Amino acid sequence: GGNHRAWHWWSWLNATTSDKALVYHYGIGSKAHFLNHIENRQTLLAKGVSKMGDHYRRWVRMANDGVIDQEWQRLVLDKDAVSVLQKYGVIVKDTRAKEIIQGILQQND
């Protein structure tokens, strides 16, 4: 599962380099989305589906043990952390994707 593939040692066979690509990464949408995702994984595991990342299994165990809120707090940045990461350019606010999508939607009105 997931929205990406891991980089494997043989990936160089089909690798491409471009200075025109932008990658937007949205790790977690909301707590409700995160919890819903875990519930879906619980259902899959109960049905015997085991092909998923270890982190999903860990999150399901944590949910079953009633400690998933601790994991959520560990994953989410507080305001101070965001400020520091923004200061050093690790995270940036970028509205280009929003503007492109808005333009497409306006064309279709």
Is 17 inside a domain boundary? no
Whether the per-residue pLDDT at 75 is higher than 80: the answer is: yes
What's the whole-number mean pLDDT along residues 34-48? 95
Domain co-membership, 96 together with 53: no
- Residue 96 sits in which domain range? 78-109
- All residues at 6 or more sequence positions from 71 whose CB lies less than 8 Å from its CB, including other chains: 59, 62
Ranking 23-27, 29-33, 69-73, 98-102 by mean pLDDT, the lowest is 23-27
**9-23, 26-40, 72-86, range with greatest mean pLDDT:** 72-86
Question: How many helices and strands, by DSSP H and E, does the chain display?
Answer: 5, 0
Domain co-membership, 72 together with 84: no
What pLDDT is attached to residue 13? 78
Domain co-membership, 85 together with 70: no
Domain co-membership, 69 together with 97: no
Is 60 inside a domain boundary? yes
What's the whole-number mean pLDDT along residues 83-88? 94
For residues 44 and 52, the answer to whether their CB atoms sit within 8 Å is: yes
Question: Where are the extended beta strands (E) located within 12-94?
Answer: none
